[in-house]
Amino acid sequence: MAKDGYSKVFLAKNADRISGIKKVLQYFELDTFRGKNVALKANFNSGDPFPASTHPETLKSLIDCLGKSGTGRITLIERSGMGNTRDVLEKLGIFKLSQEMGFEVVVLDEEERDSWVKIEKHGTHWLKGFYIPRIICDADMVVQTCCLKTHSFGGHFTLSLKNSVGLVAKKLPGSIYDYMAELHISPYQRSMIAEINNYYPVDLVLMDAMKIFVDGGPAKGTIAEPGLILASSDRVALDAVGVAILRYHGTTKAVSKGKIFELSQIHRAAELEVGISSPEEIELVPLDEESQELTPDLETILKN
């Protein structure tokens, strides 16, 4: 989606989640997914309902659109941070949905040691480096769908960049070292979050902002209802717009303070060239009258 130095972020403001998703996805060349094996990361950190977790209709609509484009195998990969992953996915009906729609589910906590790829410490804030699943490194295409919410445990906000934490091994099989314990006590937590994203590509990110948490999170919080569906291939651009939406609706001091591109997650990801490096490189593309009315306010917040 980056063209002439710009990264596009598509917005649809719609009372109907499914039509909103179809509206933003039509601007992506889904034909490029034809015959390709897709690794899909959603947001199933806990068993709590949307906006804590990916809405079932969002996952269903996304997989339906990908399937109609002629993709090969679609594999949902997940590690929950708050609860047993298999139990979380069972509670939210994801295994049942996978049987109905024909996609695979990989519970990352149950993967063997050789299913993980070591990312060395070099140039990161991770003390021992970290491990990501081999399946995401080997996939032809990578798709992510995230929620839009604040984060009470040091992340400040959890959008597409933070969603990548659910890919990192908590403990490598046969080892006692806890990478998530390291992450959550580190003063560099938000930079570490950004660094994960430097080691795998994303071809498409769908953000469900029909409802959001403007404080609290990631499992429970104060809800606002922007009624938005967003999509981009640039995680930095998308998260910057997500933060602007949080600010528009009134959010926490940690998320509201300073320029958006100086917030640690976004600053570090931009520094690593995960995505664009300034708000001037974002092209907001509203797809209906309601999102057109919102766009100037978001642009002002982004550049403030």
Helix %, strand %, coil % of the chain (to 5) = 40, 25, 35
Per-residue pLDDT reduced to its tens digit, 252-301: 999 999 999 999 999 999 999 999 999 999 999 999 999 999 999 999 99
Q: What's the predicted TM-score (pTM) here?
A: 0.96
pLDDT (tens digit per residue) in 188-235: 999 999 999 999 999 999 999 999 999 999 999 999 999 999 999 999
Q: Give the CATH class of 7-303.
A: alpha beta
* Burial readout 18-53 (b: 16 or more C-beta within 10 A, e: otherwise): eebbbbbbeebebeebeebbbbbbbbbbbbbebbbb
* Cβ atoms within 10 Å, residue 56: 16
**Residue 59, both tokens:** 């996952």
Instruction: Measure the CA–CA gap between 87 and 83, rounded to whole angstroms.
Output: 7
